[in-house]
Amino acid sequence: MEQNRNNENRKAFDFDEEWDVEKILQERWEKEQGRALPQEPERVIPQVPVQPEYQPMPEQPEHPQRAPRATNANRKKKSRVNLRGWAIVIGGAVLILALLIGLICLIVNAVGGSDEPDKAVEMTEATEETLPREERIADILNRADFVAAGYDYDAAIAILKEYGADWQAQSELSSANDRYLAEQAKLVRYEDTTQITHIFFHSLIVDTDRAFDGDDKETGYNQYMATVTEFNRILEELYKRDFVLVRIHDIVKVEKDETGKEVYKQGDIYLPPGKQPIVISQDDVNFYEYMVDGDGDREPDALGDGFANRIVIGADGYPTCEYITADNQKLQGDYDMAPILESFVQKHPDFSYRGARGILALTGYEGVFGYKTHPQWKDILGEKAYNEEVQKAREVTKCLKEHGWEIACHSYAHFGYGYNSAEDICADVQKWEDQVQPIVGDSDIFIYPYGSDIAGIEAYEGAKYEAMYQAGYRFFCNVDGSTPYWVQIHDDYVRQGRRNIDGYRMFWGPELLDDLFNVDEIWDKARPETVPSIV
């Protein structure tokens, strides 16, 4: 049902051009003979400018190097004006005059001038000794404590050092340093990173009255979506059960084997005893028109089905969402996963391992993050307005990444890779690279639409894998809601099963979620009483 709905909504965006699939495949397969694994993406931590340590100026020679003096034998007989000497004399006179003028001004101020300069000096000295120091230390401690709460004690200590060379002489900072080191010593390495669960959501329902209004879309929303109320309850329960967000990249690290080849090995995640790593992702973070446009003009409106309609950057610099209420008010706030989770981490920084957030998976056939970035919008909006949409989407991408979010490819056209050909996959990947990648940047994470993997439990091989590998994908996520975790770490790539958290799973398989939460405590009573079966 979901696939038919997505196919129907894609019709207005289908391209007419033909893709030279054989040529694309050939170019990809010839692109690299030897395949080196990319390094793990750099971890994003809060932007904290670190002052460089004091570097003394290099010692200067006692006398500058001079040109050799001329002897009587090589001096010219014809006398000439000594310009250099006159320049020195004039410069000295000017300097003496400037000093005299300055001295006169000082005498005048001392005798009859205002006493304001003296007050300014007093205020500056007093401020440096009291309030600025306290405020500065308070700011440093506030930022360092937040980072340390996320188990990144080295980064927290680096923030303490921003105070300057004598930072350890400040009792507050020295005490914080000792505290961080003591907490760091308690961390233990998570024993097996193949035992890390991964849960995922679709767009969250904000207004249940509009989503569950009895129309032909109600069933799909009921089966595949969670509500904002349910998501908030789930986060609280995960936190109580000592789950901690990690990045999918934290599962592995890159090492060299005995031949010198770079391969993936289990990663090093250090947490307090009893804490459990968890990966969270969200599919279709595109805010499709069928969800937000109720009158058919391709713009979000009050007749939509009660979802957020785009991610925007809030006044505080954090990602948030735009949402149109049933009475046509345009609001900004925590109306989807990204801002809700962001607010939760600000309240509970220990829920995030070293700044980790979640993975946002995007398709391309209808733009990204709710912006009109599909090329066909250029003709509809005009080039200037279209470029503004693209630029806004890029700014949102930058904001998300700065706050620890990762972007994944969810295919371009949202079709099942498992039951389509290598040629179709290659063409789809190429469209993503041409239209979405320039906006959201490179990604090595691929999340299969419908969970349709290109293989079973056996290792990847063949044309489909080659097409995706050569496109840069190294982390592949399918859907497996039957077990708490499913992770494969191969030399060249990583696979992880994801567990769908939605109405269907909570209604038809609540016992499969017992390790995460009690469904009876999570269930939003605004839902219809029954969730129709998918099979």
Per-residue pLDDT of the chain (535 residues), as tens digits, is 444 444 444 433 343 344 444 454 455 445 544 444 444 444 443 443 333 333 333 333 333 333 333 333 333 333 344 444 444 545 555 556 555 555 555 544 444 444 433 333 343 334 444 558 999 999 999 999 999 999 999 999 999 999 999 999 999 999 999 999 999 999 999 999 999 999 999 999 999 999 999 999 999 999 999 999 999 999 999 999 999 999 999 999 999 999 999 999 999 999 999 999 999 999 999 999 999 999 999 999 999 999 999 999 999 999 999 999 999 999 999 999 999 999 999 999 999 999 999 999 999 999 999 999 999 999 999 999 999 999 999 999 999 999 999 999 999 999 999 999 999 999 999 999 999 999 999 999 999 999 999 999 999 999 999 999 999 999 999 999 889 999 999 999 999 999 999 999 999 999 999 999 999 999 999 999 999 998 7
Query: DSSP letters along 489-529, please?
Result: E-SS-EEEEEEE-SHHHHHH-GGGGTTT--HHHH--TTS-S
Give yes or no for a contact between 201 and 504, defined as CB atoms under 8 angstroms apart. Answer: no
Backbone region of residue 502 per phi and psi (left: phi > 0; alpha: psi in -120 to 50; beta: other values): beta
Nearest partner of 338 among 290, 407, 392, judged by Cα: 407
Give yes or no for a contact between 453 and 418, defined as CB atoms under 8 angstroms apart. Answer: yes
Q: Record the tokens describing residue 385, joined without a space.
A: 């307005």
The position carrying tokens 């970035």 is 373
Query: DSSP letters along 363-374, please?
Result: -SBTBSTTS--S
What gap in Å lies between CA 242 and CA 391, rounded to an integer? 39
How buried is residue 532: exposed, middle or buried, by Cβ count under 10 Å (0-12/13-18/19+)?
A: middle
What gap in Å lies between CA 60 and CA 239, rounded to an integer? 60
Q: What is the sign, positive or negative, of the torsion defined by CA atoms of 505, 355, 137, 160?
A: positive
- Which whole-number Å values give the CA distances from 251 to 28, 191, 193, 495, in the listed order? 28, 11, 5, 10
What gap in Å lies between CA 315 and CA 318, rounded to an integer? 7
- Which whole-number Å values give the CA distances from 375 to 7, 8, 13, 283, 383, in the listed order? 19, 19, 9, 22, 10
> What is residue 193's three-state secondary structure?
coil
Q: For residue 305, how many C-alpha atoms fall within 13 Å in the half-sphere facing its CB? A: 23
Long-range pairs of 289-298 with CB within 8 A, sequence gap ≥ 24: 289/9, 289/366, 290/5, 290/9, 290/217, 291/203, 292/324, 292/370
pLDDT of amino acid 78: 37
Backbone region of residue 287 per phi and psi (left: phi > 0; alpha: psi in -120 to 50; beta: other values): left
Q: Record the tokens describing residue 213, joined without a space.
A: 């209004």
What gap in Å lies between CA 309 and CA 321, rounded to an integer? 7
The position carrying tokens 């250099």 is 84
What gap in Å lies between CA 21 and CA 412, rounded to an integer? 15
Position 477, amino acid: C
Nearest partner of 496 among 535, 533, 462, 445, judged by Cα: 445
CA 424 to chain centre: 30
pLDDT of amino acid 7: 44
Pairing of strands 494-500, 487-489: antiparallel
Q: Record the tokens describing residue 228, joined without a space.
A: 């904002």
DSSP class of residue 404? T
pTM > 0.75 = yes
CA 19 to chain centre: 33
Give yes or no for a contact between 281 and 405, defined as CB atoms under 8 angstroms apart. Answer: no
- Which whole-number Å values give the CA distances from 452 to 21, 423, 497, 503, in the listed order? 21, 16, 11, 20
Phi (first) and psi of residue 25, to 5 degrees: -60, -45
Give yes or no for a contact between 340 and 357, defined as CB atoms under 8 angstroms apart. Answer: no
* Continuous H helices in 361-502: 376-381, 383-402, 422-431, 437-440, 463-470
